[in-house]
A and B are shown apart, each in its own frame.
Chain A
Amino acid sequence: MDFKLNDDRRMLSETLDRFLRDNYTIDKRHEFAASPEGWSRKMWQDFADLGIIGALFSEEQGGFGGDGDDIMVVFEALGRALVVEPFLPTLLAGSVLAEATGEAAALHLEDVISGSKLLALAHGEPGARYTLEHVETKASEDGGTYRLTGYKSVVLGGGDANILVVSARTSGAMDEENGISLFLVDPKAAGLSFRPFGTVDGYAAAEIILDNVEGELIGKKDAAYPLVEAAYARAILAVCCEALGAMEVAKDLTVEYMKTRKQFGVIIGKFQALQHRMADVLIEIEQMRSAVINASGNLNSTRKKREWYASAAKHMAGTIGRQVAEEAIQIHGGMGMTWEYPVGHFSKRLVMVDHLFGDTDHHLARFIELGE
Chain B
Amino acid sequence: MNLELSEEDKAFQSEVKEFLETKLPGRIRDKVLLGKNLTREDIVEWQGILNKKGWLAPNWPEKYGGAKWTAVQNHLFDEASWQAGAPRTIPFGLNMLAPVLIKFGSEDQKQHYLPRILDGTDWWCQGYSEPGAGSDLASLKTSAVRDGDHYVVNGQKTWTTLGHYADWIFCLVRTSSEGKPQEGISFLLIDMKTPGVTVRPIILLDGCHEVNEVFFDNVKVPVANLVGEENMGWTYAKYLLTHERTGTANVGNSTAALARLKAIARQQMSKGKPLSRDPYFAARLAKVEMELEALKTTNLRILVEADSGAAAGPESSMLKVKGTIVRLEINDLARRAIGTYALPFVSEALEEGYNEQPIGPVYANAIASEHFNHRKMAIYAGSNEIQRGILTKTKLGL
Contacts and interface: CB of A to CB of B under 8 A. Distances in A.
Interface of A: 1-5, 68-69, 255, 258-259, 269-270, 272, 275-276, 278-280, 282-283, 286-291, 293-294, 296-298, 309, 312, 315-316, 364, 367-368, 371
Interface in B341-398: 385, 387-389, 391-392, 395-398
B294 A291 contact: yes
Nearest to A67: B1
A3 B305 contact: yes
Nearest to A72: B1
Contacts of B203: none
12 contacts: A1-B3, A255-B398, A275-B389, A276-B385, A276-B389, A278-B392, A283-B391, A287-B298, A293-B1, A312-B290, A312-B293, A316-B294
Nearest to B72: A1
B304 interface: yes
A255, A258, A290, A316: which has the most chain B beta carbons within 10 Å? Answer: A290
A103 to B, nearest CB: 28
A312 to B, nearest CB: 4
A291 B388 contact: no
State the main secondary structure of chain A at its contact with B: helix
Nearest to B387: A279
Contacts, number: 115
Interface in B1-53: 1-6, 9
Given A258-B398, A297-B3, A371-B286, A279 B391 contact: yes
A2 B397 CA distance: 29
A70 to B, nearest CB: 11
A218 B318 CA distance: 49
Given A1-B304, A293-B1, A286 B318 contact: yes
By CB atoms of chain B within 10 A, which of A69, A287, A316 has the most?
Answer: A287
A258 B305 CA distance: 29
A297 B293 CA distance: 13
Contact of A278 (B72, B286, B318, B398): B398
Contacts of B385: 276
B388 A294 contact: no
Given A5-B1, A259-B397, A290-B297, A279 B388 contact: yes
Contacts of B290: 291, 312, 315-316, 367
A293 B283 CA distance: 23
A286 B283 CA distance: 22
A371 B276 CA distance: 11
A361 B138 CA distance: 46
A3 B392 contact: no
Given A287-B291, A290-B295, A316-B290, A1 B388 contact: no
A279 B396 CA distance: 8
A312 B297 CA distance: 13
B283 A368 contact: yes
B244 interface: no
A279 B294 contact: no
B150 to A, nearest CB: 43
A186 to B, nearest CB: 40
A269 B387 CA distance: 17
B101 interface: no
Contacts of A269: 396, 398
Contacts of A282: 318, 391, 395-396
Given A255-B398, A275-B398, A367-B286, 18 more contacts: A2-B304, A3-B1, A259-B397, A269-B396, A276-B392, A279-B321, A279-B391, A279-B392, A279-B395, A282-B318, A287-B298, A290-B296, A290-B298, A291-B294, A291-B297, A293-B301, A367-B290, A371-B286
Given A294-B297, A364-B286, A283 B397 contact: no
A254 B6 CA distance: 40
Nearest to A9: B1
B1 A2 contact: yes
A294 B293 contact: yes
Contact of A297 (B2, B289, B387, B395): B2
A68 B283 CA distance: 28
B300 A1 contact: yes
Contacts of A3: 1, 300-301, 304-305
Given A275-B392, A283-B318, A287-B291, A293 B398 contact: no
Contacts of B304: 1-3
Interface in B294-319: 294-298, 300-301, 304-305, 318
B322 A290 contact: no
A270 B398 contact: yes
Given A3-B305, A258-B398, A282-B396, A371 B289 contact: yes
B80 to A, nearest CB: 16
Contacts of B72: 1
A368 B280 CA distance: 11
Contacts of B283: 364, 368
A293 B297 contact: yes
Contacts of B398: 255, 258-259, 269-270, 275, 278
Contacts of A68: 1
B204 interface: no
Given A283-B391, A298-B3, A368 B9 contact: no
Contacts of A298: 3
B53 to A, nearest CB: 24
B338 to A, nearest CB: 21
Contacts of B287: 315, 364
Contacts of B301: 3, 289-290, 293
Contact of B388 (A69, A276, A368): A276
B388 A2 contact: no
Given A3-B305, A270-B398, A282-B391, A287 B282 contact: no
A368 B288 CA distance: 12
Nearest to A252: B396
A270 B392 CA distance: 10
